[in-house]
Chains A and B, each alone.
Chain A
């Protein structure tokens, strides 16, 4: 049995036979060292594995790269926090198996290309929101080189220490999470890729927005269709732990405390209240993780597929309440507002108030950095015959606009209007020319410059009782 050894941020490997007892003791020691705190484990085979990788790279690269012809057979991903120079950072450990019957073919996206891309996006590319340490497993000792492709493969990996987590150690943590229920098998690609990218972001404004988007999108599985609700709960738990433990922890670090970008983000202030309580992250995360997941799982028993928007609002409120209670239970401190799905709760209630029996055919929505495509699905609980949707977006909400495009396939006509967020007179001119319809429902949100310009151009185009201005 190989003995896994940790060194700082680098999970080293050395193959020495030891007894099972020694093996467990080593792991116990590792746990005490608090070097790695596991959070979620995903396993996917064949097509779900390929879809997961395709979307993980597309979303993680901010839509810069979309791999095609993915040549992998199987993927396992372990997510957690790793101690690196006295600071916990995100870590994603991949165990990828390549397709067996495609030996020798270098076209397409094989294991090595995927590994290189993930490392590049997460550790080098500054346009990518992704910021997790990327590790790969070592399954077996390096063997005698027998072919040029194998020599190249090993050479590149040894040069860059790409293989850095022993499979025994990986399995140990995977089994631990599996026992806790924090394990997902063959998940929906969109849900899992978006959640992993959102979880794997650094401490920045867009990262916070991505967590909010992903958390809202998970509600599709938890409330709207419930097909993979248990999977969604695992991801939602990870996002909650990240938001209410890792983010306040990182905000309290002097390396981050003085920067302004995240502090000005919508969610920074409520999180600051938890700063002190999260100093000892290795104790906070496992306990919060377990409490949140168990509480949400219980809540799932009380949620049924909603027949109308009011029922959706009821379940959403229940979930929000469950998150707040788990946070309160853990920290003995009430948070002022829930930052992941709280905004959607407010918005859904506003929509519910405006939705009456009239047929809604034309909708206008302004996007904010937190707006997720689930908003359209909520509206469609009542409005089943939408003909046209107008989406107003800015460069700040480009990511949201692209996610909307992924999910709005069932709407006959979608009209996207790009406007400027910091040049309001330009926005006003564009809207004057491009807001041409009469609308049956308008959801106006975001910065006041955009919101007032939209409102200014809505005269005579909508009944004021159909405007949501939040």
Chain B
């Protein structure tokens, strides 16, 4: 029962800038569903409550109330500070506070480091929390909280947050847990996460004296009518060649094109050839393009044998731009590995779309981005090198001993078909 007929709201955890994406649209480069200024875990007379907050900067934000109506109507506390004209905000507000500013458990610039690694799973947590019924939410909270998390501090926070929410929503007995989570968020351990390495630094480390790069572009149907997506493998190739060419004495670059993807690969190859002249990149570039997989293996082998005769033991770098058919990927890798027997292998997979953390915009920390989807003619207009916005977490790198084991497994899988 409230004391003296009053209820006391105590904000314990206030995590700024919660961006929600459609779970089924992320890798199609979709914008967010809604961005809330904070996720609040509070107590009302010591009982836990979860709220969202919208700090109103202008009455024009009244339209957000309608957006919320289309999204299961999550509990949003509209916060008006002294400078905002509450009287101009003419949509019905269920929850609002005037003349107040929200406390923040963590500042957005610090939070950016947390979101920078693993936001896809934070999105899963927030989406389930806000837009799924309790039974479903419980399942997802269990999945996340039961994960054994590695030393990655971002994932540790994800785990802590899910445990805290589970305790509040499922068990309803969480006062201590809220405080514990609050302390963990504030703790030195979490707010001093170092910025993840950019992809260019990782690529630079892959350079060897002699390097052979195989580019496997994902199949883009009707690429002729594509405005920007078609440039993704071209820009990726140019970025990789640019980085490697400075540190490699012999650089071989092969564009693979097979079956329905043959025409697109021809286009990619021609574009790359034009641009490397401009960029003064010195490399042996060639397309390995064929309609039939059987014929493809023969061409790869002939070409690889020639490279072997010109080199000692070159590093082999297989780059997948986006996604690739698993059967063809297996076939290609196994064929390549059958020739470069003494080489070190690196397998790199680059998804087309990434979560991008915009540190300089306080109001919208997270967005999706496809940094390499632009016309390469316009690269000089880009103020920042787009490859720098791709971080270590955005790429899959399997190298050396792990790559060798993976190739061995793929070889066995192909043999068993």
Contacts and interface: CB of A to CB of B under 8 A. Distances in A.
Interface of A: 58, 61-66, 124-127, 205-206, 209, 260-261, 263-264, 268-269, 369, 394-396, 398-399, 401-402, 405, 416-430, 432-434, 445, 447-449, 451-453, 455-456, 458-459, 464-465, 467, 469-470
A414 to B, nearest CB: 10
A58 to B, nearest CB: 8
Interface string B139-154: 1101110011110100
A422 B150 contact: no
Nearest to A430: B147
Nearest to A445: B326
A63 B136 contact: yes
Contact of B324 (A62, A417, A426, A448): A448
Contact of B132 (A63, A268, A423, A429): A63
B371 interface: no
Interface stretch (B120-128, B277-285, B359-367, B376-384): B120-128
Contacts of A432: 150
Contact of A464 (B71, B132, B327, B416): B416
Given A405-B139, A458-B409, A433 B150 contact: yes
B393 interface: yes
Q: What is the size category of the interface that chain B forms with chain A?
A: 35 or more
Contact of B121 (A399, A420, A459): A420
Given A209-B24, A423-B393, 19 more contacts: A58-B133, A64-B133, A65-B133, A126-B70, A127-B71, A260-B229, A261-B28, A398-B127, A416-B143, A418-B121, A418-B124, A423-B119, A429-B152, A430-B155, A433-B147, A434-B148, A448-B349, A456-B402, A467-B413
Given A402-B136, A469-B326, A456 B147 contact: no
Contact of B131 (A64, A263, A428): A64
A433 B148 contact: yes
A395 B398 contact: no
A455 B349 CA distance: 14
B395 interface: yes
A419 B22 CA distance: 16
Contact of A396 (B26, B70, B410): B26
Contact of B27 (A401, A419, A422, A433): A422
B396 A453 contact: yes
Interface string B393-417: 1111110001001100110110010
B27 A421 contact: yes
A452 B398 contact: yes
A424 B395 contact: yes
Contacts of B353: 422
B396 A428 contact: yes
Contacts of B119: 423
A422 B354 contact: yes
Nearest to A265: B28
Contacts of A268: 221
Nearest to A418: B143
A206 B143 contact: no
Q: Sorted from nearest, which 10 A-B pairs have the closest CB atoms?
A: A424-B396, A420-B120, A395-B23, A464-B412, A206-B24, A63-B136, A425-B393, A433-B148, A416-B143, A395-B124
Contact of B33 (A126, A399, A455, A458): A126
Interface in B324-365: 324, 326-327, 329-330, 347, 349, 351, 353-355
A429 B349 contact: no
Contacts of A261: 25, 28
A423 B155 CA distance: 12
Nearest to B406: A456
B396 A66 contact: no
B51 to A, nearest CB: 18
B117 interface: yes
Contacts of A395: 21, 23-24, 26, 120-121, 123-124, 127
A405 B139 CA distance: 9
A426 B396 contact: no
B71 A426 contact: no
B124 A464 contact: no
Nearest to B154: A426
Contacts of B133: 58, 63-66
B327 A470 contact: yes
B320 interface: yes
A268 B117 CA distance: 33
B23 A429 contact: no
Nearest to B149: A433
Contacts of A426: 117-118, 120-121, 152, 155, 393
A35 to B, nearest CB: 29
B323 interface: yes
Contacts of A369: 24
A64 B393 contact: no
Nearest to B132: A63
A66 B416 CA distance: 46
Name which of A61, A417, A456 has the most chain B CB atoms within 10 A of its CB: A456
Contacts of A416: 139, 142-143
Contacts of B10: none
7 contacts: A63-B132, A64-B133, A396-B23, A401-B143, A418-B140, A448-B329, A469-B410
Contacts of A459: 405, 409
A428 B351 CA distance: 14
Given A64-B72, A449-B396, A452-B398, A422 B409 contact: no
A422 B117 CA distance: 11
Interface string B6-47: 000000000000000111111110000100000000000000
Contacts of B147: 417-418, 430, 433-434
Given A64-B132, A459-B409, A465-B416, A127 B33 contact: yes
Nearest to B229: A260
B400 to A, nearest CB: 12
A398 B136 CA distance: 10
Nearest to A262: B28
Nearest to A354: B416
B135 A455 contact: no
B349 A424 contact: yes
